[in-house]
């Protein structure tokens, strides 16, 4: 791989994939994340062949998705896509889906899965996020961007799990209302 890719962030690499159809950037993302995707799929499928095939399919999907919609947060995209692949496999093979693999709150996923939003929605999302009080912004960032669990946030903030859950739910509601107001204008 050329040295130029090594110093680029995930977002810079995905921009090269999206804007220039740069297969070298795609290959570097594959090299950077294949072991993580493979590990998650191995953990849930217990089948190396399925995990290898799944890893390839996840990165093929990246190439296709990047040409259709902007992938704003690569780590979020790769995480969601890998989870969805594992869930699909488990459902097809009639195996139980572990609670930690379930996609949480599908309604909310529409707002947080930025690559599926059009430019107006992305702009509204960013404006609303920027207008949030620092406290609400922090709750949203810890849970969704940093992907910390309720327990991790409770420990970090030195509050109970219930308080964390209530604060995150309140933050989600406030953000959702704001987005709807911005879009409706």
CA dihedral of 90, 93, 96, 102, whole degrees rounded to 10 = 20
- Predicted pLDDT at 185: 66
In the chain, DSSP assigns E strands to none
What's domain 3-101's architecture? Orthogonal Bundle (1.10)
- Predicted pLDDT at 119: 52
Nearest CA-CA partner of 26 in 35, 16, 34, 36? 16
**106-184: CATH class:** mainly alpha
H/E stretch holding 162:
helix 161-184
- Predicted pLDDT at 114: 42
- Predicted pLDDT at 57: 92
**Residue appearing with tokens 């220039």:** 20
Distance CA 14, CA 62 (A): 9
- Predicted pLDDT at 6: 82
pLDDT tens string, the chain, 185 residues long: the values are: 455 888 888 888 888 888 888 889 889 988 888 888 888 888 888 888 989 999 999 989 888 887 777 777 778 788 888 888 888 888 888 887 776 665 444 433 443 444 444 455 667 777 888 888 888 888 888 877 777 888 888 899 899 988 888 888 888 888 888 877 877 76
Report pTM: 0.52
- Predicted pLDDT at 43: 84
Contacts of 21 (CB under 8 A, 6+ apart): 67
Kindly state the tokens that stand for 183. Answer: 């879009």
Map out the domains of the chain as residue ranges. 3-101, 106-184
- Predicted pLDDT at 175: 81
Q: Are 93 and 99 in contact (CB under 8 A)?
A: no
- Predicted pLDDT at 102: 55
């Amino acid at each position: 791989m050329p040295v130029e890719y090594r110093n680029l962030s995930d977002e810079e690499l995905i921009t090269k994939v999206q804007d220039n159809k740069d297969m070298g950037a795609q290959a570097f993302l594959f090299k950077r994340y294949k072991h993580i995707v493979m590990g998650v799929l191995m953990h849930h499928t217990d089948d190396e062949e399925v995990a290898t095939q799944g890893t390839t399919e996840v990165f093929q999907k990246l190439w296709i998705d990047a040409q259709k919609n902007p992938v704003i947060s690569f780590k979020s995209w790769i995480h969601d896509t890998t989870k969805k692949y594992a869930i699909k496999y488990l459902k097809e093979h009639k195996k139980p889906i572990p609670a930690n693999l379930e996609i949480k709150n599908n309604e909310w996923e529409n707002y947080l899965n930025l690559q599926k939003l059009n430019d107006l929605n992305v702009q509204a999302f960013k404006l609303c996020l920027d207008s949030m009080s620092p406290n609400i912004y922090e709750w949203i960032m810890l849970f969704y961007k940093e992907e910390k669990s309720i327990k991790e946030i409770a420990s970090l903030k030195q509050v109970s799990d219930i308080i964390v859950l209530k604060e995150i739910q309140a933050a989600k509601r406030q953000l959702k209302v704001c987005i709807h107001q911005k879009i409706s204008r």
